[in-house]
Structure 1
Amino acid sequence: MASSKTLRTCPNGHQYYKSSDCPVCPECEKQNKPGGFFSALSAPARRALEAAGITTLQQLATYSEKEILKLHGMGKASLPRLKEALKHEGFSFKLS
């Protein structure tokens, strides 16, 4: 059964179509793209880290890969980017 997309309008007036119940406006998300290691991640992966309170590489290094993958919105495609960012700053994921 296919989901039909519905037209929505965000508080900033952007109109967009979505088939899920995700309330995030794609246009607002583009405008809010951060810098640093977060900029290399997809929006769902970035929001997953932010929701878990992970805002720095130092904080990220206290987690194992397995723990990060359990976060809702985090996918396997984000791990190489995170590993590279950690390595660049002299960190790594915690061993399981």
Structure 2
Amino acid sequence: MASVPEFDLPRIGAPATRALAAAGYTRLDQLAGVSQKELKALHGMGPKALGLLRAALAERGLALGD
């Protein structure tokens, strides 16, 4: 049985990665359905990081919430 990695976020920059980790998000699948508004409110999360997250989620057939 394959284990789920503890941390599999794409390279989005240190401030955005720290912001996600502080909010409890360490895996990409945890972000599926999370609202963009909630993520934008995190200190360190900018439009470039959000775009990279959207693209990485789309590759897995997932998406952020509205």
TM over 0.5: yes
Name the counterpart of 2:58. 87
Q: Shift in Å at residue 94 of structure 1?
A: 1.2
After TM superposition, the runs of 4+ consecutive aligned structure 1 residues lying more than 6 A away are none
Q: Tell me whether 61-70 or 45-54 shows the greater mean CA deviation.
A: 61-70
Hey, which of these two has a bigger chunk of helix by percent?
2
Identity of aligned residues (%): 45
TM-score if structure 1 supplies the norm length?
0.57
Q: Shift in Å at residue 37 of structure 1?
A: 3.1
Residues 21-66 of structure 1 show CA distances to partners (whole Å, capped at 9, x for unaligned) of xxxxxxxxxxxxxx7433x211000000000001112211131111
Name the counterpart of 1:51. 22
Q: Determine the C-alpha separation between the residues in 2 that align with 1:51 and 1:62.
A: 18
Q: Determine the C-alpha separation between the residues in 2 that align with 1:85 and 1:75.
A: 16
Q: Determine the C-alpha separation between the residues in 2 that align with 1:53 and 1:91.
A: 19
* Pair 1:69 & 2:40 matched: yes
State the aligned residue count.
Answer: 60
- Which sections of structure 2, spanning at least 5 residues, go unmatched? 1-6
SS in 2 for 1:77: helix
Q: Determine the C-alpha separation between the residues in 1 that align with 2:44 and 2:28.
A: 18
Hey, which of these two has a bigger chunk of strand by percent?
1
> Relative contact order, CA 8 A, sep 6+: which one is greater?
2
Larger gyration radius, structure 1 or structure 2: 1
The alignment yields a C-alpha RMSD, in angstroms, of 1.5
Q: Determine the C-alpha separation between the residues in 1 that align with 2:44 and 2:20.
A: 9
